């Protein structure tokens, strides 16, 4: 093997059903004053939030609960959480929830330690943060991989811009992954987050800067998503499937932290920036069929590898055939889990689609795609997603 690469991962991973019981002791090792970041307490998760808060306090910790995280979190949301962290002198942050919650927790940890606004520390700006509060990330969904990445995504609403802090300092200190916490996810959220996990693995695998290490992790995640995503959507109480998807999610996060994502994610960020009613996984699904057809000829061998995971009978088939079957199998997966979507379902107009396309090169992800899409190609893919049936 003649390939030069680097791989960095500083997050301690604790994985397994029932591992949430370890949270109080882990938190105590980081400080006495804890900011717990979650979604709204007035939700189906309220019992979980109350239980975790009680366990932390029973350990002698002082807990401040910020429960205002919204889907596609905004800069305003991060600033509210940061204000609490500053006021109360919090020494560590726990993000208990989905990707929006964990990203918000990481962004709060940055601004609480460095001052200013999280938006000041976007990946392309200077100066970058010099320190951060330690974060424990506890996912309650299986999709974003945020528990093991150095990324915190947020939206500036006044400019309809979704972007990210990207800095190795913000890897969570600990990722506590308990598949039991995902068991109550509704089917569509399971599908949307699970599809995101699959996409993380798939896009990091075809990424132009993929390495043998990220390839190994990405293929592992793809195998688990192919085996378990349909099952998890069909039956949320199937704990083998929940555990399998929690592992696929973690593999996806580990892979994108060191390889990255490609065209659909950059476009998807623009979609969510303009249309906050669209979940991240949904934004990917809106362009994925078109993206697959556009990209496949430029990455035939890797598409073929994934096609053979879906269909082991393709082991001896030519790459061209296995690659075509890969595209078809991913589309079938999307249909089976209810992710065959179109923009009309979300009341998005052609005018908005044009604005999204025109900003399609603002994030660098398109440059990592095996085939580069210009603005008009992005517009074409978005238009195909408008009337998809």
Give the pLDDT confidence of 314-367 residue by residue, as tens digits. 999 999 999 999 999 999 999 999 999 999 999 999 999 999 999 999 999 999
List, in sequence order, every beta strand (DSSP E) within the chain: 12-15, 33-37, 62-66, 92-97, 135-139, 151-156, 161-166, 174-177
In 3D, which of 330, 336, 261 has the Cα closest to residue 322?
330
Angle at 201 between CA 200 and CA 203, to 5 degrees: 65
State mean pLDDT over 252-272: 97
Give the pLDDT confidence of 82-126 residue by residue, as tens digits. 999 999 999 999 999 999 999 999 999 999 999 999 999 999 999
Give the SS3 label for residue 38: coil
Indicate if the pLDDT at residue 2 is higher than 80: no
pLDDT band of residue 273 (cuts 50, 70, 90) is: very high
Tell me the C-alpha distance between 87 and 107, whole Å: 16
pLDDT of residue 389: 86
Phi, then psi, of 373 in degrees rounded to 5: -100, 125
Angle at 187 between CA 243 and CA 144, to 5 degrees: 55
Q: Do the Cβ atoms of 123 and 164 come closer than 8 Å?
A: yes
pLDDT band of residue 210 (cuts 50, 70, 90) is: very high
DSSP state at residue 129: P
Both tokens of 179, joined, read: 């598949």
CATH 3.90.550.10 is held by the domain 187-384 = no
Give the pLDDT confidence of 275-288 residue by residue, as tens digits. 999 999 999 999 99
Per 3-state DSSP, the chain is made up of helix, strand and coil in percentages (nearest 5) of 60, 10, 30
Indicate if the pLDDT at residue 187 is higher than 60: yes
CA atoms within 13 A on the CB side of 327: 19
Indicate if the pLDDT at residue 1 is higher than 70: no
Give the SS3 label for residue 343: helix
- Average pLDDT in the chain: 96
Q: Do the Cβ atoms of 277 and 341 come closer than 8 Å?
A: no
pLDDT of residue 3: 77
Q: Do the Cβ atoms of 145 and 254 come closer than 8 Å?
A: yes
Contacts of 173 (CB under 8 A, 6+ apart): 11, 12, 30, 134, 135, 136
Both tokens of 201, joined, read: 């693995």
Domain covering 12-182: architecture:
3-Layer(aba) Sandwich (3.40)
Q: Do the Cβ atoms of 177 and 191 come closer than 8 Å?
A: no
Tell me the C-alpha distance between 54 and 334, whole Å: 40
State mean pLDDT over 130-156: 97
Most distant CA atoms of the chain, gap in Å: 63
Indicate if the pLDDT at residue 179 is higher than 90: yes
Q: Break the chain into its structural domains and give their ranges.
A: 12-182, 187-384
pLDDT of residue 387: 86
Q: Which residue has the higher pLDDT, 41 or 331?
A: 331
């Amino acid at each position: 093997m003649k390939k030069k690469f680097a791989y960095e991962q500083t997050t301690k991973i604790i994985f397994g059903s029932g591992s949430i019981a370890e949270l109080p002791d882990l938190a105590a090792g980081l400080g006495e004053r804890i900011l717990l970041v979650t979604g709204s307490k007035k939700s189906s998760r309220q019992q979980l939030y109350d239980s975790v808060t009680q366990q932390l306090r029973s350990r002698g910790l002082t807990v401040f609960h910020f429960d205002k995280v919204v889907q596609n979190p905004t800069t305003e949301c991060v600033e509210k959480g940061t204000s609490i962290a500053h006021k109360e002198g919090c020494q560590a942050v726990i993000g208990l929830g989905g990707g929006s919650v964990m990203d918000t927790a990481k962004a709060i940890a940055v601004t609480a330690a460095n001052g200013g606004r999280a938006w000041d520390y976007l990946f392309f700006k200077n100066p970058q943060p010099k320190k951060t509060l330690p974060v424990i990330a506890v996912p309650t969904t299986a999709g974003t991989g945020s528990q093991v990445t150095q990324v915190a995504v947020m939206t500036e609403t006044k400019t309809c811009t979704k972007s990210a802090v990207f800095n190795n300092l913000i890897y969570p200190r600990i990722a506590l992954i308990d598949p039991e916490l995902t068991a109550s996810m509704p089917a569509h959220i399971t599908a949307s987050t699970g599809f995101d996990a699959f996409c993380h693995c798939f896009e990091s695998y075809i990424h132009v800067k993929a390495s043998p290490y990220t390839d190994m992790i990405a293929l592992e995640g793809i195998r688990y998503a192919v085996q378990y995503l349909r099952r998890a959507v069909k039956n949320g109480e199937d704990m083998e499937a929940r555990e399998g998807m929690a592992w696929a999610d973690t593999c996806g996060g580990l892979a994108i932290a060191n390889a990255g994502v490609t065209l659909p994610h950059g476009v998807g960020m623009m979609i969510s920036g303009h249309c906050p009613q669209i979940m991240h996984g949904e934004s990917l699904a809106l362009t994925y069929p078109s993206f697959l057809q556009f990209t496949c000829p430029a990455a035939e061998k890797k598409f073929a590898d994934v096609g053979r995971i879906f269909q082991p009978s393709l082991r001896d088939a030519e790459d061209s055939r296995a690659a075509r079957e890969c595209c078809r199998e991913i589309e079938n997966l999307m249909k089976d889990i209810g992710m065959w979507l179109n923009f009309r379902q979300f009341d998005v107009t052609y005018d908005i689609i044009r604005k999204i396309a025109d900003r399609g090169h603002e994030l660098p992800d398109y440059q990592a795609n095996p085939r580069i899409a210009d603005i008009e190609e992005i517009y074409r893919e978005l238009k195909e997603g408008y009337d998809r049936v």
